[in-house]
């Protein structure tokens, strides 16, 4: 996940260097945005060295000896679109006022208006500035808009006064970041198996059958589970995605390879999420040489691939199994049928033809169909947020006793 760290002009700006380091230790990518005043207290080079990322210091950046870079005029939009959270620490009274009143006269304040991601601010200032009615009014306005405020601590301040105004402790700020990103640690001790991406079924050395899956949904589940404390085994078909921090990835190509990998890793897991778009069919024969084009019609014989979810459901024991149903019509009907036919505990279903849902997008629109007949239709949200909801449901189902069908109870 990517965090944009805004650093504003106060004595506590030096503490932001340690904050950036701690964020990286937790697996976040960090890009720093500095106000002009912040650069009076700490050099951008410090943050560039710590994060390995470009430090943004101006709304209109000018290359050395050249005119202003026109691309930088919309850079705040690009940064806003790719960040998962905007964290401002320390946040001065001036910055809080700009945010509250919608003023945008530098990169950070413009980025705040453009960002749809969660926002966390950690104020730091003189005690009288903090207590001033104008500052408190601005804080109240930001809270009402959903901004998380990490209250300043009390103690001896740089100005020589004692009272509220010290930048909150880094652990407090990190806790607020985790809360804003819904990063709980409630999966500690669990081992989660996740499948993701497409499979490729070879027709000849050049051609193969596949689908449009990018793997984003499965990778989001793996990342969310790892951040919530689980050991995660990610069995992935071919994708361009990097494995999330701390996740064990097993790369496969075909449905048969994925089936074998899942069977090998399944005994160690306590829950499994089958998000991969596994090919349902493969060519009966893989030709040893490239098939040549001719004018005659071509018929290709196909055979079913292994049904991974159904196979594993027969040996799931107390594990919670989650399947996916990517549909183009009759979504609810098909999802309920799959839930029963596959003996799954949860089916995540979506209409892949709907705007904002489906393959190779950052967002999704799904409905969760659970074994206890609970159905939860989610609005459009990021795939990471969908992943969090899926994991919440996995935990709920683990805590819910399995119901024995009436027919089986009568035979007992």
Q: Which residues contact 335 (CB under 8 A, 6 or more apart)?
A: 325, 327, 347, 349, 367, 369
Beta-strand relationship, 231-236 and 191-196: parallel
Which residues does the annotation mark as catalytic? Answer: 159
The closest of 198, 182, 190, 177 to 394, measured between CA atoms, is 190
Q: Checking phi first, is residue 87 left (phi over 0); if not, alpha (psi -120 to 50) or beta?
A: beta
Distance CA 21, CA 134 (A): 33
204 φ, ψ (degrees, to nearest 5): -155, -175
Asked if 328 contacts 342 with a C-beta cutoff of 8 angstroms, the reply is no
| Whole-angstrom Cα Rg for the chain | 26
Query: CA quadruple 407, 273, 335, 368: dihedral positive or negative?
Result: positive
Tell me the C-alpha distance between 134 and 119, whole Å.
21
Q: In what order do the strands lie in the sheet with 29-34?
A: 29-34, 2-7, 85-91, 119-123, 148-149
Nearest to 244 by CA among 402, 73, 408, 26: 26
């Amino acid at each position: 996940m990517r965090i944009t760290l805004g650093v504003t002009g106060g004595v506590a700006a030096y503490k932001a260097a340690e904050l950036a380091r701690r964020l990286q230790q937790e697996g976040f990518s960090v890009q720093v945005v500095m106000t002009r005043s912040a650069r009076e207290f700490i050099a951008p080079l410090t943050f560039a060295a710590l994060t390995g990322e470009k430090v943004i210091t101006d709304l209109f950046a000018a290359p050395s000896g050249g005119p202003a870079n026109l691309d930088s005029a919309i850079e705040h939009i690009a940064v806003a679109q790719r960040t998962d959270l905007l964290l401002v620490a320390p946040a001065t009274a001036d910055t809080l006022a700009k945010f509250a009143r919608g003023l945008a006269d530098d990169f950070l304040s413009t980025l705040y208006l453009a960002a749809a991601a969660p926002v966390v601010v950690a104020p730091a200032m003189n005690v009288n500035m903090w207590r001033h009615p104008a500052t408190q009014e601005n804080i109240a306005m930001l809270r009402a808009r959903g901004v998380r405020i990490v209250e300043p601590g009390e103690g001896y301040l740089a100005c020589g006064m004692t009272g509220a105004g010290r930048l909150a402790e880094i652990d407090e700020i990190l806790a607020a970041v985790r809360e804003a990103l819904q990063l709980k640690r409630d999966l500690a001790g669990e081992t989660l198996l996740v499948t993701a991406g497409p499979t490729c079924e070879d027709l000849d050395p050049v051609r193969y059958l596949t689908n449009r899956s990018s793997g984003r949904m499965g990778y989001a589940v793996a990342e969310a589970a790892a951040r919530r404390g689980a050991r995660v085994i990610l069995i992935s078909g071919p994708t361009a995605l990097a494995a999330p921090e701390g996740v064990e990835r097993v790369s496969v190509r075909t449905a048969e390879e994925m089936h074998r990998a899942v069977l090998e890793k399944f005994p160690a897991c306590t829950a499994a999420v089958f998000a991969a778009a596994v090919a349902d069919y493969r060519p009966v024969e893989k030709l040893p040489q490239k098939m040549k084009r001719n004018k005659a019609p071509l018929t290709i014989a196909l055979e079913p691939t292994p049904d991974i979810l159904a196979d594993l459901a027969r040996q799931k024991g107390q594990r919670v199994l989650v399947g996916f149903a990517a549909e183009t019509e009759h979504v609810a009907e098909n999802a309920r049928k799959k839930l029963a036919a596959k003996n799954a505990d949860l089916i995540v279903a979506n209409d892949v033809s709907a705007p904002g849902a489906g393959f190779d997008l950052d967002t999704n629109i799904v409905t969760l169909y659970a074994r206890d007949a609970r159905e939860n239709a989610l609005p459009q949200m990021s795939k990471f947020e969908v992943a969090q909801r899926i994991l919440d449901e996995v935990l709920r189902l683990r805590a819910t006793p399995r119901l024995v069908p009436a027919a089986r109870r009568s035979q007992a």
